[in-house]
Amino acid sequence: MTPETLVLSWDELNDHVETLAQQIGALPVDQHPDAILAISRGGLVPGAMLAYRLGVRDLLVAVAEHYDAAGRRPEPSITRMPSDSSLRGRSVLIVDEVWESGRTLALVAERARAAGASVRTVVVHYKPDKSEVPGRPDFFAARADGWITYPYKGGE
């Protein structure tokens, strides 16, 4: 039996992001992020929403691809990453919409750590049964199994 597609409304996304902001906001002040690194494209909207809620003004973008028009690629690739100097010595919260295989987020986190950042990861949805990498995101709002359509994806 195939899990049904979850179609998320703006209100539901807003509630999930609020849940994430509360989780992250509960960290000791010295562990709050001073930059958000959103993974394009899916992490851009939740990343910006979190930036507002957490009072983080520095919103960075990594462009990573694991899916294209033909479907899932064998390995994710990063086509754009912030400079090492913009990450070095910073507390960075890496945001994506979903942890399915976990490979994209793990790759971006690895690159940010290599640049000298202290990293935490956050996703709106975590799919533990589909994960292909060790560990899990530091923060997630909900678990899921099937395909998820986010309100900003507009009919993809």
DSSP class per residue in 117-138: -EEEEEEEEE-GGG--SSS--S
Residue 140 pLDDT exceeds 80 = yes
* 141 has a pLDDT exceeding 80: yes
How far apart, in Å, are the Cα atoms of 116 and each of 109, 113, 126, 134? 11, 5, 26, 21
**pLDDT tens-digit series, residues 39-87:** 999 999 999 999 999 999 999 999 987 665 666 667 788 889 999 999 9
pLDDT of residue 66: 66
**What pLDDT, in 10s, does the model give residues 85-129?**
999 999 999 999 999 999 999 999 999 999 999 999 999 999 999
Checking if the pLDDT of 2 tops 80, the result is no
Q: 102 in the Ramachandran plot: left (φ > 0), alpha (ψ -120 to 50) or beta?
A: left
CATH level 2 (architecture), domain 6-68+91-153: 3-Layer(aba) Sandwich (3.40)
Whether 10 shows a pLDDT value over 90: the answer reads yes
Q: Are 95 and 26 in contact (CB under 8 A)?
A: no
Given this model, what pLDDT does residue 4 score? 81
Instruction: Report the predicted TM-score, pTM, of the whole model to 2 decimal places.
Output: 0.91
Domain boundaries, the chain: 6-68+91-153
